[in-house]
């Protein structure tokens, strides 16, 4: 039994596009890719196609995440990894994914684009939006190929126990992949499951440089999975997905000096998260502030719509999450800099005076 037995059979037979850079690397007199021989002299040389999976960045990310490089695939954000997984594992009109709402919206969007069904197993509101993995297991039939677990979860901020996620993966071995989206894991107390993706072939972990590493504009994210899954996804990716300036930005963000700064920023965000959480609970009209393992706080208000508009009128933009099940009175607030958070609190307190 191979984990690829879960993939679309038609893709297994496909030989992916063989790009010039893949066939011959980038040393020598390069006359094989119909590129211009003349780099623009006002910019870093961009006349050559980039490596499909730049080896230096891949090695660096593998080291950072504690995994072997062949198990790691770099793409344009974890968004692209979600899309690739759904396209590779779900046959249109036949297969399905499991999501646990309130959940990150892209899982269901990618499934809809692919023509895959979406089975919803809601987080349990009465237990602080904890997952119900027994219900997830019960929802997995032969059609389900992917189970998405967001840890920490966007938009509720909680995170499942590592032991429970590993037990879920073990229980689904040979039946479905468990895809653990760790976009916010740097802000959590518990460490990443990425190293575990090496020992379980149906456990896939998604990481990103968009959040803690302050690189959302470069669009660099990773999938960590069994090497054969990485190879399968490479076949359906475009030939040169990673723009050279973005690869360079990612390398710069991973040098020792930048990583030290990132560590400071993560610590500052966690401190601000706690300070903001406590301060928000004292604001009139705040019903509940969810505890969070991520870089945002989800907050229930007496009148979330009015609060949203009030903040917007002052140029403070938070996320309206009232469309999510169970969050009909909530807004999601990213933890900003101390100055930004102070501005937010000042505006919310202002409202208190007006309505008092």
Binding site for ligand PMP (CB under 6 A): 77-79, 104, 150, 154, 181, 183, 208, 210, 216, 221
Min CB(150)–ligand PMP separation in Å: 5
Smallest separation (angstroms) from ligand PMP to the CB of 263: 20
> Given the complex with ligand PMP, which of 102 and 221 has the nearer CB atom?
221
Task: Using alpha carbons, list the distances in angstroms from residue 234 to 12, 67, 113, 229.
Answer: 12, 18, 20, 9
Burial class (CB in 10 A: 0-12, 13-18, 19+), 178: buried
> Which residue is listed with tokens 């062949």?
70
The nearer residue to ligand PMP, 169 or 246, going by C-beta atoms, is 246
Find how far residue 162's CA is from the centre of its chain. 17
**Phi, then psi, of 19 in degrees rounded to 5:** -80, 160
Nearer to ligand PMP, 114 or 154 (CB): 154
* Least Å from the CB of residue 353 to ligand PMP: 34
3-state secondary structure of 263: helix
Measured from the CB atom, the residue of 216 and 352 that comes closer to ligand PMP is 216
Q: How far apart are CA 204 and CA 88, in angstroms?
A: 13
CB of 212 to ligand PMP, least distance (A): 11
Nearest position to ligand PMP, beta carbon:
77
DSSP run (H or E) holding 73? strand 72-75
CB of 153 to ligand PMP, least distance (A): 7
Q: Is 4 or 333 the residue whose CB approaches ligand PMP more closely?
A: 333
d(CA 248, CA 344): 35
């Amino acid at each position: 039994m191979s984990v690829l037995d879960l993939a679309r059979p038609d893709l297994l037979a496909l030989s992916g596009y063989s790009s010039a850079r893949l066939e011959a690397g980038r040393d020598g007199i390069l006359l094989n890719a119909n590129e211009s021989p003349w780099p623009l002299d006002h910019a870093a040389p961009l006349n050559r196609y980039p490596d499909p999976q730049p080896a230096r960045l891949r090695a660096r990310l593998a080291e950072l995440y504690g995994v072997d490089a062949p198990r790691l695939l770099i793409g344009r954000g974890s968004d692209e990894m979600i899309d690739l997984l759904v396209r590779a594992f779900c046959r249109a009109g036949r297969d399905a994914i499991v999501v646990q709402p309130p959940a990150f919206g892209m899982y269901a969007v990618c499934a809809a684009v692919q023509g895959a069904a979406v089975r919803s197993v809601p987080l349990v509101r009465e237990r602080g939006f904890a997952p119900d993995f027994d219900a997830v297991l019960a929802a997995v039939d032969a059609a389900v190929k992917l189970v998405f677990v967001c840890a920490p979860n966007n938009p509720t901020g909680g995170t499942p126990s590592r032991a429970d996620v590993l037990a879920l993966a073990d229980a689904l071995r040979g039946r479905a992949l468990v895809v653990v989206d760790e976009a916010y894991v740097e802000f959590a107390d518990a460490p990443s499951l990425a190293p575990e993706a090496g020992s379980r072939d149906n456990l896939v972990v998604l990481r990103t440089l968009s959040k803690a590493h302050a690189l959302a504009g470069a669009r660099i994210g990773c999938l960590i999975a069994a090497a054969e899954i990485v190879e399968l996804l490479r076949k359906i990716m475009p030939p040169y997905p990673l723009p050279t300036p973005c690869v360079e930005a990612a390398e710069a963000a991973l040098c020792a000096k930048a990583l030290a700064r990132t560590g400071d920023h993560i610590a500052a965000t966690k401190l601000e998260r706690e300070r903001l959480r406590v301060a928000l609970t004292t604001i009139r009209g705040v019903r509940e502030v969810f505890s969070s393992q991520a870089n945002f706080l989800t907050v229930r208000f007496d009148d979330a719509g009015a609060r949203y508009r009030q903040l917007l009128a002052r140029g403070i933009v938070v996320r309206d999450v009232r469309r999510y099940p169970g969050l009909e009175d909530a807004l999601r607030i990213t933890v900003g800099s101390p100055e930004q958070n102070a501005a937010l609190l000042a505006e919310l307190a202002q409202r208190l005076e007006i309505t008092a």
